[in-house]
Amino acid sequence: MFKIPRGTRDFSIEDMQKRRYIEEGMRSTFQTFGYREIQTPTFETLELFTAKSGQEIIEELYSFKDKGGRDLALRPELTAPVIRFYVDKLQMEPKPLKLFYFGNCFRYDRPQKGRYREFRQAGCEIIGTDTPEAYAELIVLAYKILENSGIEDLRLNIGNLNILSLIFKQLKLTREQQKYLIPLIDKSLFEDVFDVLRDFGIKGEDANKFIEILQTPDVKIIKKYFKDDSAIKEIGELEQILKLIEKAFGIKNYKVQMSIVRGLDYYKGLVFEIEAPILGAEKQLCGGGAYDLISLFGGKKTPSAGFAIGFDRTIVALESENYRFPKSQIDAYVIPLNEDIVDLAINIVQILRNEGFLVDLDLLRRGLGKSLKYASSIDVKKAIILGPKETKQNSVTVRDMETGEQKFIKIKNIIKIFQ
Ligand code: AMP
């Protein structure tokens, strides 16, 4: 009768077991890097998002007026809300401030595999430092979260928007011309980039050189391209970050890629992306970098950087790589064989639950055969059967649901069945 809204999903019991398992792992990786969790509201004032991205962003948002006439929007991402929170209440916190979060985001996108209207992000922000080690650690954290989740084929690409801007400057491209080129660079349409540069009056040789810089992973080639000192300094900083990632953190699986653009007016300097090629068209799992929002939101200028991981795509990537998610099993299913034994059955359930075991109880008073069938359908490790014969001897029958083996056990020793 009622249909689920376009671009949204229901998550089954199995889906949620997978999602919670992966989320717990990610949370723990954030924590091992010294990050602490926060949460912000699901909706914000509309202005929070237009302040950075302009009115055009409204097309992509779920925005609405509430009954008090306020313009609000479901959050499309979490960096702006977190920086609003920081400017409002956290500016006095000791630096660096390392914050992480999980949250659902909403975008009025065209739904397809890996692209939804409601999706989940895991992300973080580091505020108050711009040292190479801070940036290197941030990139390593993003990589480790995905690697620890179990994804095998990951591609980490690192770029720098200041360097890209300096290339634009060296080619004397106007802002308008840059705006035209950026989406082409973003999509790696290098032949089109060449044609457009020629239309802008750039010599073929210079256009080719530019495209080489966008494509080469070799920092030495990029370095040679520049004449001015600010570019050399910027590249030197990038080299320091790369050296730390490779030599100190031990991650060799990365590539320099100057064609990463990620919306030039938001990020500045360092940018990076992590992809899972198995995902095909929607292969981007993570995007991040250094950005400047704090002063725009009225805070005291402080360096900040962060990233967001697409949680749903992480799950899709794991499923596509046939990752074996652990089964979350119920430890025991307790079956009283008649009404008189229900009290005792509850007693046993309580003892086991208080010990932290996952325990269910037959609540339908069905016969043993049906109860055992149900127990195996919900993936129980052991069935605990209580009939008159057992209770007379202060015992239970414990059935191993995998092997079918049955044992008579004294109730006082019940906890031992899991040892
Ligand atoms: P962004 O904030 O656009 O940089 O997105 C960060 C990450 O969130 C992306 O790399 C994707 O993995 C994920 N993501 C973005 N938009 C969607 C969407 N509509 N559906 C699912 N995942 C998304």
- 308-322 per-position pLDDT tens digit: 999 999 999 999 999
Q: Which atom of ligand 1 is nearest to the CA of 273?
A: 10
Give the model's pLDDT for residue 15. Answer: 96
Q: Ligand 1 test: best mutation among 313, 314, 315, 318, most atoms within 8 Å of CB?
A: 313
Question: Is residue 213 classed as helix, strand or coil in its secondary structure?
Answer: helix
Beta carbon of 287 within 6 Å of any ligand 1 atom = yes
| pLDDT higher than 90, residue 158 | yes
Closest Cα to atom 11 of ligand 1: 310
Instruction: Report whether 275 contacts 295 (CB < 8 A).
Output: no
Q: Is 284 in the pocket of ligand 1 (CB under 6 A)?
A: yes
Answer yes or no: is the C-beta of 289 below 6 A from any ligand 1 atom.
Answer: no
Q: Verify whether ligand 1 is closer than 6 Å to residue 107 (CB atom).
A: yes
CA-based radius of gyration for the chain: 28
User: Which uninterrupted H or E stretch holds 354?
Assistant: helix 342-354
The rounded percent of the chain whose pLDDT value lies above 90 is 87
Per the CB < 8 A criterion, the answer to whether 158 and 218 are in contact is no
Residue 141: predicted pLDDT: 98
Q: What is the pLDDT of residue 53?
A: 83
Task: Mention every residue, 6+ apart, whose C-beta is less than 8 A from residue 318.
Answer: 18, 22, 149, 150, 151, 325
**Confidence class of residue 3 from pLDDT cuts 50, 70 and 90?**
very high
Ligand 1 touching residue 314 (CB < 6 A): no
Q: Report CA-CA distances (Å) from 217 to 103, 254, 258, 348.
A: 34, 9, 8, 63
- Span from the CA of 310 to the centroid of ligand 1 (angstroms): 5
Helix axis angle for 161-170 and 229-243, nearest 10°, is 150
Residue ranges of the alpha helices (H) in 37-122?
A: 46-53, 79-85
Q: Is 140 in the pocket of ligand 1 (CB under 6 A)?
A: no
CA–CA dist 365, 321 (Å, integer): 43
Of residues 266 and 8, more confidence is placed in 8
Exposure of 9 in the CB half-sphere (CA atoms within 13 A): 16
Q: Does 104 contact ligand 1 (Cβ within 6 A)? A: no
pLDDT higher at 412 or 327: 412
The response to whether residue 77 sits with its C-beta less than 6 Å from ligand 1 reads yes
What is the tens place of the pLDDT at every residue in 358-393? Answer: 999 999 999 999 999 999 999 999 999 999 999 999
Confidence of residue 288 (pLDDT cuts 50, 70, 90): very high
Query: Model confidence at 263, in pLDDT bands (50, 70, 90)?
Result: low
Residue 120 Cα to ligand 1 midpoint, Å, equals 8
Q: If we measure between CA atoms, which residue out of 167, 122, 165 comes closest to residue 141?
A: 122
Predicted confidence at residue 147, as pLDDT, reads: 98
Q: Of the candidates 20, 38, 34, which has an alpha carbon nearest to the alpha carbon of residue 79?
A: 38
**pLDDT on residue 228:** 78
Distance from residue 48's CA to the centre of ligand 1 (Å): 19
Judged against a pLDDT cut of 70, whether residue 264 lies above it is answered with no
> Which atom of ligand 1 approaches the CA of 314 most closely?
12
pLDDT the model gives residue 231: 86
Among 121, 273, 314, which residue has the most ligand 1 atoms within 8 Å of its CB, making it the best to mutate?
Answer: 121
Burial readout 375-404 (b: 16 or more C-beta within 10 A, e: otherwise)? beeeebbbbbbbeeebbeeebbbbbebeee
User: Is the beta carbon of 273 within 6 A of some atom in ligand 1?
Assistant: no
* C-beta of residue 99 within 8 angstroms of C-beta of residue 93: no
Give me the pLDDT at residue 22, please. Answer: 98
Name the residue with the closest Cα to ligand 1, atom 7.
Answer: 310
**The predicted structure's pLDDT at residue 265:** 64
Convert the pLDDT of each residue in 178-219 to its tens digit: 989 999 998 889 999 999 999 999 999 999 999 999 999 999
Give the mean pLDDT of 160-177.
91
pLDDT at position 30 over 60: yes
In this structure, the residue with its CA closest to atom 20 of ligand 1 is: 115
- Which residues are CB-neighbours of 230 under 8 A, at least 6 positions away? 166
**Across residues 135-141, what is the average pLDDT?**
98
Neighbours of 31 (CB within 10 A): 12
Average pLDDT of the chain, as a whole number: 95
The region of weakest confidence among 73-87, 122-136, 223-237, 259-273 is 259-273
**Mean pLDDT for the stretch of residues 271-289:** 96
Q: What is the spatial distance between Cα 125 and Cα 8, in angstroms, rounded to a whole number?
A: 27
Residue 419 is predicted with a pLDDT of 83
pLDDT digits (tens, 9 = 90+) for 78-137: 999 999 999 999 999 999 999 999 999 999 999 998 999 999 999 999 999 999 999 999
Query: Which atom number of ligand 1 is nearest to the Cα of residue 309?
Result: 7
Give the per-residue pLDDT at 229. Answer: 84
